[in-house]
């Protein structure tokens, strides 16, 4: 199980697996400054909503470990503003920043070293809690795939250990099934425009010895029609209070096709991805990225010069297409406004 980051407590350095270079090259980036970690988030060297939140938390630690020039409160707000602008769709980033703010405010000390230690301990907790949440939601989610024989699962983008502190959300359910002794076959669309299914999901599953078949995004309908699929399982960068879920572009069409073919559509995410302050998916900010990510592949242009490009990184799947939302706190079923609110008010399992 690959983890996408390593924190060096002694040197106060964050190391990030550069996911832009996978699968051909395993390269680690060293971030000694907060803005280096922010750039890694913006440029998608690290990606996945939970991982982005964790890296942002450690970026705050880097900011305090390297800069003693400003008052703590103003220093924090400068760091927070820069980090929150890196990628706007994932709610985990804001949630991690909010936790770091609360931790800073609780530290009654004039010692810069003690302040850094307190913030570092909070970032460590955020990372550890995410790993535990992934394992817990994986165990819960596998109970929704009750058929006999090998489980056939379609996913989208990468919601595995590379997108989290380890183990994964959608792929956490897959891993839990494998650990339970059930055979699993995963189908992974390439996931345009950044090919995270082809480059990351396929690489991650093959590294773990989990059978995976790569398909193009345009094959999803034919795949669901031709194969006896047990479920479509995806992650989420933000889940609105009514259950509308934002995930990598192409998820919405997979949900519509799953409903047409009678295949359960499951969203798997830590509860930190649930934004009860956002009423519906219409209010979720959708990041738009550079045209080069569509008109080029590995630096080689594949489209005519000057062609207009629309490149949203995410789409929103309406709640009516979602069978269940799996979190570490429990499984939410429709109507999601009620079930997510209940999970938001308790740490117990429903």
**pLDDT tens column, 300-318:** 999 999 999 999 999 999 9
State the Cα–Cα distance between residues 265 and 257, nearest whole angstrom.
10
Is residue 33 within 8 Å of residue 16, measured between CB atoms?
no
pLDDT score recorded for residue 1: 74
Task: Tell me the average pLDDT across 320-333.
Answer: 98
Burial 261-294 (b: 16+ CB within 10 A, else e): bebbbbbbbbbbbbbbebeebeebebbebeeebb
Verdict on whether the full-model pTM lies above 0.95:
no
Model pLDDT for residues 207-265, shown as the tens digit of each residue: 999 999 999 999 999 999 998 899 999 999 999 999 999 999 999 999 999 999 999 99
pLDDT confidence band for 347 (50 / 70 / 90): very low
130 an active-site residue?
Answer: no
- Percent of the chain's residues with pLDDT above 70: 98
Token output for 348: 């117990």
For 158, phi then psi, to 5°, come to: -135, 115
With CA atoms as reference, report the closest residue to 156 among 247, 285, 45.
247
- Which residues have C-beta within 8 Å of that of residue 175, sequence separation ≥ 6? 1, 138, 167, 168, 208, 210
pLDDT confidence band for 299 (50 / 70 / 90): confident
Token output for 326: 């799996």
Catalytic residue from among 39, 67, 130, 237: 237
- Which residues have C-beta within 8 Å of that of residue 329, sequence separation ≥ 6? 271, 343, 346, 347, 348, 349, 350
State the Cα–Cα distance between residues 188 and 154, nearest whole angstrom.
6
Whether cis (ω within 30° of 0) applies to the bond prior to 23 is: yes
């Amino acid at each position: 199980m690959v983890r996408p980051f390593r924190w060096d407590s002694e040197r106060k350095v964050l190391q990030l697996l550069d996911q832009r270079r996978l699968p051909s090259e395993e390269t680690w980036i060293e971030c000694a400054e907060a803005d280096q970690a922010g750039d890694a988030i913006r440029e998608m060297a690290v990606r996945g909503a939970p991982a982005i939140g964790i890296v942002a938390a450690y970026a705050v630690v880097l900011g305090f470990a390297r800069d003693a020039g400003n008052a703590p409160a103003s220093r924090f707000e400068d760091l927070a503003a820069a980090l929150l602008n890196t990628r706007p769709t994932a709610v985990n980033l804001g949630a991690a920043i909010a936790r770091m703010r609360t931790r800073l405010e609780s530290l009654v000390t004039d010692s810069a070293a003690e302040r850094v230690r307190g913030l570092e301990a909070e970032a460590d907790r955020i990372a550890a809690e995410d790993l535990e949440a992934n394992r817990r939601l994986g165990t819960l989610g596998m109970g929704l795939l009750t058929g006999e024989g090998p489980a056939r699962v379609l996913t989208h983008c990468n919601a595995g250990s590379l997108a989290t502190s380890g183990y994964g959300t959608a792929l956490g359910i897959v891993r839990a099934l494998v650990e339970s002794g059930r055979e699993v076959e995963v189908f992974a669309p390439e996931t345009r425009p950044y090919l995270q299914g082809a480059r990351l999901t396929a690489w991650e599953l093959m590294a773990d010895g989990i059978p995976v078949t790569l398909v193009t995004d345009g094959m999803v309908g034919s795949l669901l029609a031709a194969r006896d699929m047990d479920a479509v399982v995806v992650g989420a960068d933000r889940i609105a209070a009514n259950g509308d879920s934002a995930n990598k572009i192409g998820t919405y069409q997979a949900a519509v096709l799953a409903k047409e073919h009678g295949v359960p559509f499951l969203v798997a995410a830590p509860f930190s991805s649930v934004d009860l302050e956002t009423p519906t998916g219409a209010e979720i900010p959708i990041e738009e990225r550079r045209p080069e990510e569509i008109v080029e592949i590995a630096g080689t242009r594949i489209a005519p010069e000057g062609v207009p490009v629309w490149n949203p990184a995410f789409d929103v799947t309406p709640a009516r297409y979602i069978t269940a939302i799996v979190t570490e706190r429990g499984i939410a079923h429709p109507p999601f406004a009620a079930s997510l609110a209940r999970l938001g008010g308790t740490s117990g399992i429903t």
